[in-house]
A and B are shown apart, each in its own frame.
Chain A
Amino acid sequence: TQLLEQSPQFLSIQEGENLTVYCNSSSVFSSLQWYRQEPGEGPVLLVTVVTGGEVKKLKRLTFQFGDARKDSSLHITAAQPGDTGLYLCAVPPRASSGSARQLTFGSGTQLTVLP
């Protein structure tokens, strides 16, 4: 069972549409990060959410951390072709895990915004 489940796995929409992608788990996390990876490049950190219920905005992107800190969503308003990419969520290890340093990544949502 994956620690982080991202949905949908693939999403193709027209320019100007709105969309939401999700990152879910049965575990509680101290924080959660969202990254975007463009084709042929490494992931780039977009945001870190820390507090349950927290909402952060980055231009047309809205990130929310669930009240119970088990899940998160990313909403994009009026999507543009430049938003195309793989969206990854990541969490730090739980206190009980063996290593305190590595991040665990979801498998991502591949978003394509068509002009």
Chain B
Amino acid sequence: DVKVTQSSRYLVKRTGEKVFLECVQDMDHENMFWYRQDPGLGLRLIYFSYDVKMKEKGDIPEGYSVSREKKERFSLILESASTNQTSMYLCASRWPGVGAFFGQGTRLTVV
């Protein structure tokens, strides 16, 4: 059974903290993605990676960075968390041309 696992289901962080969201997939997929999902705005792509150490900005990269040191792991970093980054964060992976597999999501609250 294919699996994308996000390290936390719920996180509460303080403004200004550095936050790490981890995602691991066991399908040997080349492509991995980080989205955030907000009511009325749908899924918005933050960053994606198409290979180890390779990354591309998505639609809303400001305030975020990513790291992909190993093929199976893709990390999203909030350099200095702000309240407007409170959101549901979703990690996904896929092969080109096929559907995406998502993790269970991390609901992040920044206070």
User: CB within 8 Å of B: which residues of A?
Assistant: 31, 33, 35, 40-45, 48, 88, 90, 92, 99-103, 105-108
Contact = CB atoms under 8 A, between A and B. Distances in A.
A42 B92 contact: yes
The 4 closest A-B pairs by CB, nearest first: A42-B102, A107-B42, A45-B99, A105-B43
Nearest to B48: A102
A21 to B, nearest CB: 15
B31 A101 contact: yes
A42 B100 CA distance: 11
5 contacts: A41-B104, A42-B105, A48-B98, A88-B43, A103-B100
A40 B89 CA distance: 11
A44 B102 contact: yes
Which of B4, B9, B98 gathers most chain A CB within 10 Å?
A: B98
A63 B91 CA distance: 26
